Structure 1
Amino acid sequence: MNTVVPAKRHYVDPTPFDPGLTEPVGAENESFYRASSWRLMWWKFRRHKVAVAAAFILLAFYLMVPFVEVLAPYNQTKRNGDFIYAPPQGIHLMHEGRLAAPFVYPYKYSFDLESFRRVYTMDTSQPQPIRFLCRGDAYEFWGLWTTNVHLFCPPENGTLFLLGTDRLGRDLFSRILYGARISLTIGIVGIAVSFTLGLFFGGLAGYLGGWVDHVIQRMIEILRSLPELPLWLALSAALPPNWSPILVFFGITIILGLLDWPGLARAVRSKLLSLREEDFVKAAELMGASKQRIIARHLIPNFMSHLIASATLSIPSMILGETALSFLGLGLRPPVTSWGVLLNEAQNLAAVQLHPWLLFPIVPVIIVVLAFNFMGDGLRDAADPYH
């Protein structure tokens, strides 16, 4: 008697993939097994809450860059001669026990003949409301047209120094906003230079091998053996003093990019050495694909996510490099405004002791560097297939 064996039913779990779990809910979950590497990377990255928060912080900083003239209440070069080294003005919402619109108390100053210092006191009897969506100092928006619209402005016939003023009476909060444009941009432009050189030399060393690999590796070892900070100082000091601020900006950017590419080139080389023996590379070679096409279209896209994570972790070092060079007076110079240039005024220990708000430009440097490191850690973990 023949026994009829019932057909094995194929069970598909209808539960959708939950990116919060380390494994898909169902063994046959198509949303997981058919997902691209970029989608899987995104699912793993958004589980890293600290990295996601850091990404939003960086997004806010970089969205601010094109609109600093609108966000800053003062022009970066405007001097308030009557308010030199004025301390920060606080924003208040309560006056004499009643809720009021955001306002500041005006400053009155007197000169102390004993200490030869200006003494600022607040006049709490005359609250001055802050103006919003108002007209203030004129500026050229993106170099296209002249306007004077600001998000918020000082009170009429009043002042608004949220972070105090410097030795020339310039608003420090406005100058920090203007400095963000240079300090944040130099990291992106510098990593573009480093990324291009790293992909080029690392791709040649990893795919071609042989004497090309030996030459590139020896060149990388020579660059890595040189002390980084003295080399930065020497190259920055070699820039002609009569260069315009734009040329100095690009010079510092190229210097930072040229000194950062060896690490990325080694990462590219190690990946290519492991991938060039794969079957898809052999198939491309048999089909007559050129070496340039194999590297650019088949090899590099397979680990681009790792490269992006590595590049993200390199940007903070470039921001800190520009800040250090400008702080030492060998980087960007006035009238260019960057966070390092602003910190250059805090070199005088006596000035910092008397006017500690001059150190405020270091706060955005710390926030941005930490945010890049946290986001880079999240991207690196998300790009790791074994994590």
Structure 2
Amino acid sequence: MTAMDEARQAAGAVATPPPAPPPAHVVSKEPWDPYVAEKLTAEQERFYMAGQWKLMWWRLRRHKPAVICGGFLLFMYLVTLVSEIIAPYDQHTRHIRHIFAPPQGIHLFHEGSFVGPFTYGYKMERDPDTLQRIYTEDKSTTHPVRFFCLGESYEFWGLIEGRFHLACPSEGGTLFLLGTDRLGRDMFSRIVYAARISLTVGLFGISLSFVLGLVIGGIAGYYGGWIDNIIQRAIEIIKSFPHLPLWLALSAALPVTWSPLLVYFGITIILALLDWPGLARAVRSKLLSLREEDFATAAALMGASPQRIIGRHLIPSFMSHLIASATLSIPSMILAETALSFLGLGLRPPITSWGVLLNEATDINVVAVNWWLMLPVVPVILVILSFQFFGDGLRDAADPYH
């Protein structure tokens, strides 16, 4: 016992207990002194000094399915930027001699010798009973596949004329990797072009929904009282309606005279207006607890306006959680657009989306014979699953107690 402790006991004071020993994982070469602060290692200092976003990134990297799915989604969105280059044909180019042509395989060897990537031509016959087109491979000639080549002309994003493609058919040959439709249009090219529309609908829709959810949920959570009651009753009324019939009713109300671009933005606004209540409730519940914290009270005492307190202090403290929640809402918007277009009440030609392509495969007799018309459902499934896994990983990474 030190002299100071003896003096305190003599004065009738209670001796201050020594601090607890360091945790077992803290390794120190110096003998432990309860009144001397321990030095942190470089790794510990890096961890304790890391910000919220860096910690979230470290946790996300450990979630392997989320990382893989995030890479796939990044690849898909990069493809939408260069759809004209990836697609060997324009989405509206018709090949009247190859209507309902089956997918062509890529071959490397011809008659035992290596030729390189090439396709065989088609031989077309008609069934004398059903008049159906029957295609077989014409192995007498080969059509080499050219890479990084000049092919069919296009307008890049509708602005710049170009002819550069990632892959092109040879002169006189064809390159129908996923077959053709009832008008002889290349299905692979149309799926690539459709990805730009279907994927951006989800992004634009969630952006608008995100803004509405933050503003309305922020007002309800910060002010509370009768304002909160009115907003909560409005959210309950909106969520009480079945979504699919409401989507159908609002989509059917869009004027048929609208241009395809206006229809696109109209569908996006409809999806966003029906998606914001869930995000608004999440924002409200967070703000109801955070508005009583010391930092919010200090900001109010310093004269900060409610808008500044909500926008600069409260919402940024749980923005990572909101981004994870928004990521899980994007696939629902993609599915909603696909469903509406499939039913003929969403986007309409000449706009091409995955739902529009699936709408052309509604005839079961056509699908039974020409199965490749159902292939647009494959990217829909892959993208939806990727968003779910990626969103789950983001949500776990944003949870500080996970």
Query: For this structure pair, what is the TM-score category when the shorter chain's length is used for normalisation?
Result: over 0.9
1:31-54 alpha-carbon deviations (Å, 9 max, x no partner): 111100100000000100000000
Q: Name 1:296's counterpart in structure 2.
A: 311
Superposed displacement of residue 97, structure 1: 2.3
Query: Cα 1:196–1:172, aligned 2, differ >3 Å: closer, same or farther?
Result: same
1:190 aligns with 2:205: yes
Q: Name 2:20's counterpart in structure 1.
A: none
1:349-370 alpha-carbon deviations (Å, 9 max, x no partner): 1110010100000000001100
Distance (Å, rounded) in 2 between the aligned partners of 1:280 and 1:286? 10
Distance (Å, rounded) in 2 between the aligned partners of 1:321 and 1:217? 25
TM-score by length of 2: 0.91
Q: Name 2:227's counterpart in structure 1.
A: 212
Q: Name 1:235's counterpart in structure 2.
A: 250
Superposed displacement of residue 145, structure 1: 2.0
1:218-276 alpha-carbon deviations (Å, 9 max, x no partner): 00000000010000000000000000000000000000000000000000000000100
Written as runs of structure 1 = structure 2, the 5 A alignment for 1:277-356 is 277-356=292-371
Please provide the CA RMSD for this pair.
1.5
Q: Name 2:185's counterpart in structure 1.
A: 170
Distance (Å, rounded) in 2 between the aligned partners of 1:214 and 1:290? 22
Query: Cα 1:297–1:78, aligned 2, differ >3 Å: closer, same or farther?
Result: same
Superposed displacement of residue 116, structure 1: 1.1
Q: Name 2:16's counterpart in structure 1.
A: none
Distance (Å, rounded) in 1 between the aligned partners of 2:231 and 2:32? 61
2:135 to 112, 115, 120: 120
Q: Name 2:8's counterpart in structure 1.
A: none
Q: Name 2:397's counterpart in structure 1.
A: 382
Distance (Å, rounded) in 1 between the aligned partners of 2:80 and 2:32? 64
1:105 aligns with 2:120: yes
AA aligned opposite 1:299 = L
Larger deviation, residues 81-90 vs 123-132: 123-132
Distance (Å, rounded) in 2 between the aligned partners of 1:367 and 1:257? 23
- Secondary structure (helix, strand or coil) at the match of 1:126 reads strand
Larger deviation, residues 42-51 vs 124-133: 124-133
Distance (Å, rounded) in 2 between the aligned partners of 1:254 and 1:311? 16
AA aligned opposite 2:110 = H
AA aligned opposite 1:257 = A
Q: Name 1:244's counterpart in structure 2.
A: 259
Distance (Å, rounded) in 2 between the aligned partners of 1:191 and 1:262? 12
Q: Name 1:221's counterpart in structure 2.
A: 236
Q: Name 2:64's counterpart in structure 1.
A: 49
1:33 aligns with 2:48: yes
Superposed displacement of residue 11, structure 1: 4.9
- Secondary structure (helix, strand or coil) at the match of 2:118 reads strand
AA aligned opposite 2:398 = A
AA aligned opposite 1:275 = L
- Secondary structure (helix, strand or coil) at the match of 1:147 reads strand
Distance (Å, rounded) in 2 between the aligned partners of 1:187 and 1:217? 25
- Secondary structure (helix, strand or coil) at the match of 2:311 reads helix
- Secondary structure (helix, strand or coil) at the match of 1:106 reads strand
1:157 to 164, 167, 172: 172
AA aligned opposite 1:263 = G
Distance (Å, rounded) in 1 between the aligned partners of 2:160 and 2:398? 44
Distance (Å, rounded) in 1 between the aligned partners of 2:59 and 2:332? 26
Q: Name 1:92's counterpart in structure 2.
A: 107
TM-score by length of 1: 0.94
Distance (Å, rounded) in 2 between the aligned partners of 1:135 and 1:80? 19
1:146 to 161, 164, 167: 161
Give 5+ residue unaligned stretches, structure 2.
4-30
Superposed displacement of residue 142, structure 1: 2.4
- Secondary structure (helix, strand or coil) at the match of 1:129 reads strand
Q: Name 2:284's counterpart in structure 1.
A: 269
- Secondary structure (helix, strand or coil) at the match of 2:139 reads coil
**Aligned sequence identity (%):** 66
AA aligned opposite 2:101 = A
Query: Cα 1:11–1:209, aligned 2, differ >3 Å: closer, same or farther?
Result: closer
AA aligned opposite 2:190 = R
**Total equivalences in the alignment:** 373
Q: Name 2:98's counterpart in structure 1.
A: 83
1:189-218 alpha-carbon deviations (Å, 9 max, x no partner): 000110010001100000000111000000
Distance (Å, rounded) in 2 between the aligned partners of 1:301 and 1:90? 52
Distance (Å, rounded) in 1 between the aligned partners of 2:98 and 2:392? 44
1:68 aligns with 2:83: yes
